[in-house]
C-alpha cells in the first residue's frame, strides 16, 4: 500500500510542477522592468502608454521619455498615449521612423513636458493642457507615480524635436522575454511523471 502511495505522491508533485510555467509567465508579464530605465512598468503605465516597433513587437516603458529613448535601438516606433491633463478621451499618437528623423504626431498640437526624470514627464494635448500641467503638476488622469508638482525648470517641447535627440544609434538590442525557466520546469515535470508511471508499472508487477 505504501508503494502505491508513493507513486500517487510522485504524480501529484509532477502535476504541480507542470502548473508552474503558465503562472510564471503571467507574473513575468505583470512585473516588467522599463526597457530604458530601472523603473517597474505598472499595469497603469501599460494602459497609459502603448509602444510597438516596426515589426509589431510590444515594448514596455514607464514614461514618454523612456519610450523615445528606445529609438536608440529601434528604427520605427508607434506610440499611443493620452493627455495627462484631459484624460483618455484626448488620444495622442506618434509614428516615428528613421530613429527619430521622421515623426507624424496626431494631434499636431501635442506637447511634451520633460521634468528632469521619469516621474516628471508628461504629455499634453495642446498648449492649454501644458500650461495647466505646469501650474498644477498633474490631474486625475496622470499616472499615480507622477502625481506630484513639476520642477520650475520643466522643459516644454514637441515629440518630433525630442525624438530627434535619439537619431544617433547607440543602443543595444533589447533581449526578448525569456521562457527558458518555464521550459526547464515543464521538462522536469514530464520527467517526474514518466518516473511515476514506470514506478507504478513496476509496483503492479
Tens of pLDDT, residues 64-88: 999 999 999 999 999 999 999 999 9
Same domain, 143 and 157: yes
Q: Is there a single domain that holds both residue 28 and residue 127? A: no
pTM, two decimal places: 0.67
Number of domains composing the chain: 2
Instruction: Tell me which long-range contacts 13-18 makes (C-beta under 8 A, separation of at least 24).
Output: 13/192, 14/189, 14/190, 14/192, 14/193, 14/196, 15/189, 15/193, 17/185, 17/188, 17/189, 17/192, 18/185, 18/186, 18/189, 18/190, 18/193
Q: Is 49 found in the same domain as 28?
A: no
The span from the CA of 6 to the CA of 18, in Å, is 18
Same domain, 104 and 162: yes
182 with 157, same domain?
Answer: no
Q: What are the pLDDT digits (tens) for 84-108?
A: 999 999 999 999 999 899 999 999 9
Mean pLDDT of the chain: 81
Q: What percent of the chain has pLDDT over 70?
A: 67
CATH of the domain at 154: 3.30.450.410
**Does 61 lie in the same domain as 140?**
yes
Question: Residue 172: what pLDDT?
Answer: 42
Do 116 and 182 lie in a common domain? Answer: no
What does the alpha-carbon distance between residue 157 and residue 115 come to, in Å, rounded to a whole number?
11
Read off the pLDDT band of 126 (50, 70, 90). Answer: very high
* 23 shares a domain with 6: yes
**Under 8 Å CB-to-CB from 95, ≥6 apart: which residues?**
76, 77, 78, 79, 103, 104, 105
69 and 88, same structural domain?
yes
Q: Range of 3's domain?
A: 1-35+178-205
CA distance 81 to 94: 9
How high is the pLDDT of residue 94? 98
The answer to whether residues 122 and 84 belong to one domain is yes
Amino acid at each position: 500500500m505504501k508503494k502505491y502511495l508513493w507513486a500517487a505522491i510522485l504524480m501529484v508533485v509532477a502535476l504541480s510542477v507542470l502548473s508552474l510555467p503558465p503562472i510564471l509567465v503571467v507574473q513575468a508579464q505583470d512585473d516588467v522592468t522599463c526597457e530604458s530605465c530601472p523603473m517597474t512598468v505598472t499595469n497603469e503605465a501599460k494602459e497609459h502608454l502603448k509602444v510597438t516597433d516596426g515589426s509589431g513587437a510590444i515594448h514596455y516603458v514607464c514614461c514618454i521619455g523612456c519610450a523615445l529613448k528606445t529609438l536608440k535601438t529601434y528604427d520605427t516606433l508607434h506610440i499611443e498615449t493620452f493627455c495627462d491633463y484631459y484624460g483618455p478621451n484626448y488620444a495622442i499618437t506618434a509614428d516615428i521612423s528613421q530613429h527619430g528623423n521622421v515623426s507624424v504626431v496626431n494631434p499636431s498640437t501635442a506637447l511634451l513636458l520633460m521634468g528632469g526624470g521619469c516621474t516628471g514627464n508628461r504629455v499634453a494635448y495642446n498648449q492649454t493642457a501644458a500650461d495647466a500641467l505646469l501650474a498644477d503638476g498633474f490631474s486625475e488622469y496622470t499616472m499615480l507615480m507622477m502625481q506630484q508638482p513639476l520642477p520650475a525648470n520643466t522643459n516644454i517641447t514637441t515629440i518630433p524635436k525630442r525624438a530627434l535627440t535619439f537619431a544617433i544609434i547607440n543602443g543595444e538590442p533589447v533581449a526578448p522575454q525569456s521562457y527558458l525557466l518555464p521550459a526547464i520546469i515543464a521538462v522536469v515535470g514530464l520527467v517526474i511523471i514518466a518516473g511515476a508511471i514506470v514506478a507504478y508499472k513496476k509496483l503492479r508487477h
